[in-house]
Amino acid sequence: MVYRPTRRRFLKAAAATGAALGLGDLSFLSRLPRLSAAETDLSSKIVRFGPDIEPLVRLLEDTSRERLLEEIGARIRRGLSYREILAALFLAGIRNIQPRPVGFKFHSVLVINSAHLASISSPDSDRWLPVFWALDSFKNAQAQDVREGDWTMAPVAESKVPAAARAKAAFTEAMDHWDEAAADVAVTGLARTAGAQEIFEIFCRYGARDFREIGHKAIYVANSWRLLQAIGWHHAEPVLRSLAFALLDRAKDPNPAQADLDADRPWRQNLKAAAALRSDWLDGKPSASATTDLMETLRQASPEEASKKVIAQLNSGVAPQSIWDALFQGAGELLVRRPGILSLHAVTSTNALHFAFQNSASDETRRLLLLQNAAFLPLFRGDSRNLKPVRLDEMQPAKEPAPSLDEVFSEVSRDRMNAAGKLLAYLRSNPNPADFIASARRLVFLKGTNAHDYKFSSAVLEDYLQLSPSCRDPYLASSLFYLRGSGDADNNLVKRTRAALGA
């Protein structure tokens, strides 16, 4: 893919001063039209955007950070829709933010789907706030991109775009050889001629093939697919070009097609190992003991040993659900044992790989996604000597009387381990965690300061329902090792949004 720098756009950081806001005071959002669940239900059957999306993208690109929220607020009051903002924001990020490395400033693009998930899961009165947060995040990343060279996606080399009959083969050949220029023109031809599901199947595999970028490649595949379903597949071409470029990032490594590197080894091993699964591997029986056994393996196994354990369990008749129960909990346990960015991505990448597993129609791809997830968790684990000796499936609820949610979230800001015990006690008395989830999400709105707050919360609050019921409470308890507490400082966005809306 060829890129060229553009003129430096006017960018200026907004002031962030003033008194902190009271927890939960979002009444100023009432100055905007209420955003109903129906308006955020962006199924592909809804009428798609026309060519007038370009002026809105330009508005996002060229308006200063200190003015953007006010400008968008005014346009919403005049009828600008949620879908239009979401599409323009995604496309502005695709065109303006370099997707290498697949993280850091590019989180402003990765997080848009997470903000969308937060919006559609919130009360009508709160739904605009994640969108405003994502708009501000884009302006921050755009400013950083300008400082680092002002990367912009250039037009495709039209004369080199392969014909429809050749596009798929050309793309897979380019990706297999890590050939960026060839992949760019080939994916353009693919985007123009192939079906959405066919393209998703291809990208699922390449998003999971290597461990570079600590899971962000798989996350980008899942999030871009989900957003394209929301905003319309007619926007796919630039998105897929960005995605292909991101997946081919190898940092300073030699060409992986010509080397045997640690980041690529699980994929090569699992390409062969996947064939060893029995043909009826999807028809196994749930087994809580198998889940416990696999969690123990993940605590000390190598990537290859973890994959082999999954194969052995599936071939012995264990249901894939029990495997996923162990993978989700294994990721959550890493966050408890070593809170931080690395273990956080064990959770968010498992979310992405599981989403791909759920939505892939290819038996081989589903096998590979499951095995790769098992292989990646030991890589996230690293040196076990640096991990706290905690077992998620053995954590106990606090012995005190069932605490309130206020007590739980207050404790998060002081002692996360104690907060986890309190939450387990709360959940024992309140088996429906809807109130916990609503409170956790609103605290992200009020206290969250970076993309990981949205990425993590959207992943974990979505995934708890993917686990077997007996595994859900410990998994939610692990989430407190990154979720926000009520004693954390308020962020500045609510104040800025209030000011932008004239409240």
Instruction: Give dist(CA 249, CA 101) in Å, integer.
Output: 7
Tally Cβ neighbours within 10 Å of residue 163: 9
Can you give 186-200 as a three-state secondary structure string? HHHHHHHHCCHHHHH
Q: What is the pTM of this model?
A: 0.90
**Per-residue pLDDT, 78:** 92
**Per-residue pLDDT, 48:** 32
- The domain spans of the chain are 34-147, 158-247, 265-386, 395-479
The residue type at 114? S
Closest C-alpha among 380, 291, 372, 377 to residue 341: 380
Q: Distances in Å between the alpha carbon of 107 and those of 115, 168, 221, 268? A: 12, 29, 13, 28
**Per-residue pLDDT, 382:** 84
**Per-residue pLDDT, 15:** 32
Give the distance, in angstroms, between the CA of residue 199 and the centroid of all CA atoms in the same chain.
Answer: 19
* Residues whose CB falls within 8 Å of the CB of residue 312, separated by 6 or more in sequence, listed in order: none
Closest C-alpha among 171, 174, 214, 217 to residue 190: 171
* CA terminus-to-terminus distance, the chain: 46
**Per-residue pLDDT, 169:** 98
Give the distance, in angstroms, between the CA of residue 454 and the centroid of all CA atoms in the same chain.
Answer: 9
CB 329 within 8 A of CB 200: no
**Per-residue pLDDT, 13:** 30
- φ, ψ for residue 250, nearest 5 deg: -125, 15
Name the residue with tokens 């798929």: 168
Per-residue confidence of the chain (503 residues) as pLDDT tens digits?
Answer: 544 444 333 333 333 323 333 456 677 777 777 777 766 655 444 323 347 799 999 999 999 999 999 999 999 999 999 999 999 999 999 999 999 999 999 999 999 999 999 999 999 888 999 999 999 999 999 999 999 999 999 989 999 999 999 999 999 999 999 999 999 999 999 999 999 999 999 999 999 999 999 999 999 999 999 999 999 999 999 999 999 999 999 999 999 999 999 999 999 999 999 999 999 999 999 999 999 999 999 999 999 999 999 999 999 999 999 999 999 999 999 999 999 999 999 999 999 999 999 999 999 999 999 999 999 999 999 888 889 999 999 999 999 888 999 999 999 999 999 999 999 999 999 999 999 999 999 999 999 999 999 999 999 999 999 999 999 999 999 999 999 999 999 998 888 887 777 65
Name the residue with tokens 């789907």: 113
CB 394 within 8 A of CB 363: no
**Per-residue pLDDT, 159:** 97
**Per-residue pLDDT, 69:** 95
Q: Which residues pair with 318 in a beta bridge?
A: 285
